[in-house]
Structure 1
Amino acid sequence: MKFINKLLVLGFALLFMPLAAAQAPTLSAVEAAEQSITQLLKRVEELRPYFESDQERYYAGIQEEVGRFVDFSQVATGVMARFSEDATDEQIEAFGEKLRATLTRFYGSALVEYGGQELNYMPPRNPPEDPEAPTNVRMQIVSDGTRIELQYALFLNENREWKLRNLYVGGINLRRQYHTQFAALMARHNNDIDAVIEAWQ
């Protein structure tokens, strides 16, 4: 169970691997993901020595990568779900920034533990007819014979950049998991969105 939990953490950490801009029409979402994940792993390798000696420098590098590919407004809106209808644009942006900060540190720590596990990219089960339509990129992490599947929910933004808005790890919907936490905090704080954002960890 401990090993499986470690793989889950690694899977969540891979949420923050960059997805290349879809400016080249010959580049599929899978190809963009594979290319960019390789680039981030190289960056993590460069930053790893600073995790012990200068963590702020390490996390700043990870957060720089995060800003390239995760649409935190989309993530925040998805996590808030129905509560986003009562939120202002400023609150959604503030929650997105809170997610950026907290998740960068949590999953940045997990990336330090990445030890070269095998990553296999798989074809989509139901590929959309339009290559630029939102799609899920599927991959497996393989370590010591154990396999866990990840699915990245991607879309092209108005700048024709692939952005990530959700992740599934071993069938677990990350956005749904965080929505459960957000809803519980809303109940605890009498539906005060500002208080929930402040309390989010």
Structure 2
Amino acid sequence: MNKAIIISIRQFFFGLAVLLLTSTAFAAPQIQPPEIEVEKITRNLLNLFDKNKEEYKKDREGFIKEVDRLLSPVVAFDQIARYVMGKYTRRSPDQVDRFEATFKDSLLRFYGNALLALDDTRLTIESVDKTSESQLKKYIAGDVSRIPVKMSVRTSTRSVDIFYSMVHTDGRWKLRNITVDGINIAKQFQTQFADAVDRYGKVKTVVDNWAEIMRGKDIKTGK
């Protein structure tokens, strides 16, 4: 075979290999640091609230719908709900899906009403810590299951440290838990759920009445 033809064939296959490798590299999804998503959604929510505060105080349901629209894509409600149920996800698997829906609705209302209760307090983001490259690599490698993102929020009187626990699922970063001033919110709900089951005796009773339980109301039905 002609030497020039052999060189051309080699160059062709070498170029093809480089092209395939390059295409694979570009096709591989690149995970952005989670704090980008955290800051974006927080700013959007706070800006929405500040601009429409008085209107939302008159129309709480309208505000809850807006909170739902903004948070549903970026909160892992299913994972949080399963964590809150704890051991009862195994003991009462038939109640898991129902609790996920109930928990999502009650949590959105809890969060929305908490914002509406701030009155004249204005919340602003002071700082958001960056995720280190090594930490992101550990997450991608599966060495850690979540990445914490620290944010400092300023109220009218003081600064509040918030830690978001983030997971990458469904092609984006989602909130898995939140700790405010040292209080682990998901853990608080998990304890509340377990205490309610001990008190009322049935997981179904707790699931059916979770919204009232979150508001501290006493459930009439019992064991």
Which category describes the TM-score, using the shorter chain as reference length? 0.7 to 0.9
Alignment RMSD (CA, Å): 2.5
Amino acid in the other structure paired with 1:108: G
Q: Which moved more, 1:162-171 or 1:26-35?
A: 26-35
CA distance in 2, matches of 1:122, 1:166: 17
Q: Which moved more, 1:104-113 or 1:68-77?
A: 104-113
TM score, norm. by length of structure 1: 0.76
Q: Which residues of structure 2 form unaligned runs of 5+?
A: 1-27, 212-223
CA distance in 2, matches of 1:104, 1:96: 12
Work out whether 1:138 is the aligned partner of 2:145: no
1:61-102 Cα deviation digits (max 9, x unpaired): 1122221111211011111111211122x5222212222222
Secondary structure in 2 matching 1:100: helix
CA distance in 2, matches of 1:86, 1:30: 36
Matches within 5 A, 1:108-147: 108-112=112-116, 113=118, 115-124=122-131, 127-130=135-138, 132=140, 134-143=146-155, 146-147=158-159
CA contact (8 A) 2:123 2:156 kept: no
1:126-165 Cα deviation digits (max 9, x unpaired): 83434646211111123466333211111111x2111111
1:183 shift after superposition: 0.7
Bigger share in helix: 2
Q: Specify the structure having the higher radius of gyration (Cα).
A: 2
Identity of aligned residues (%): 23
CA distance in 1, matches of 2:157, 2:57: 31
1:38-57 Cα deviation digits (max 9, x unpaired): 22222323443432332222
Q: Which has the higher contact order (CA 8 A, sep 6+)?
A: 1
Say which of 95, 101, 105 aligns to 2:109: 105
CA contact (8 A) 2:122 2:155 kept: no
Aligned to 1:180: 191
Q: Which residues of structure 1 form unaligned runs of 5+?
A: 1-22
CA distance in 2, matches of 1:136, 1:45: 27
CA contact (8 A) 2:82 2:89 kept: yes
Aligned to 2:206: 196
User: How many residues end up aligned between the 2 structures?
Assistant: 176
Closer, same or farther: CA 45–24 of 1 in aligned 2, 3 Å: farther
Aligned to 1:72: 77
